[in-house]
Amino acid sequence: MPNPICNTSPLQYLHQINQIDLLPKIYGSIRIPQAVADEIATGLQNNNDLPYLGDLYWLSVRPNEENVDLSQFPSGLGKGEIQVISSGFNMPDEVLILDDRLARQFATKSGLKVTGTVGILLSAKQRGMITSIKPSLDHLIGLGFRISPDIYHKGLNLAGETFGLNR
């Protein structure tokens, strides 16, 4: 079973929609780079609604990759995204859990395996862990999660759910 490497936003959004427990159910354990742990710690200090990492028995923090050549990455990526992708370069068989479009595109073009919050929900639906992804997608959108109408509809279609008139 793979031990994916996760960025901040999937942890944040799955926590905010009360679905963070899907991660250990699907993968068993998750790893995050120290940069992601630092982002979450800063967010918690600023009273953002984020998971407390000490409560996530299935999550481990790994050291940041050293000697990262920032020139190889597109500008606009955060430290967490750069560290997740750098970890993927060193462990190319692992799945990277990223939501940022630029980070996902770069990782995919680099030959890395990528999923995100929507992919986690879809996997949970396909495994019978949840009955529908639409309420979660709609909740995410209400929280400010950016998802294109095409991805929204594609996710619903892959989950065998109807589009409705909401999006």
Name the residue ranges covered by the structural domains of the chain: 5-116, 119-158
Quick: pLDDT tens for 75-107: 999 999 999 999 999 998 999 999 999 999 999
**pLDDT above 50 for 46:** yes
Pairing outcome for strands 5-6 and 59-62? unpaired
Report in angstroms the alpha-carbon separations of 61 from 52, 89, 96, 151: 13, 17, 14, 30
**pLDDT above 60 for 37:** yes
SS3 132: coil
Residue (of 60, 159, 58, 160) closest to 118 by Cα position: 159
- CATH of span 5-116: 3.40.50.1010
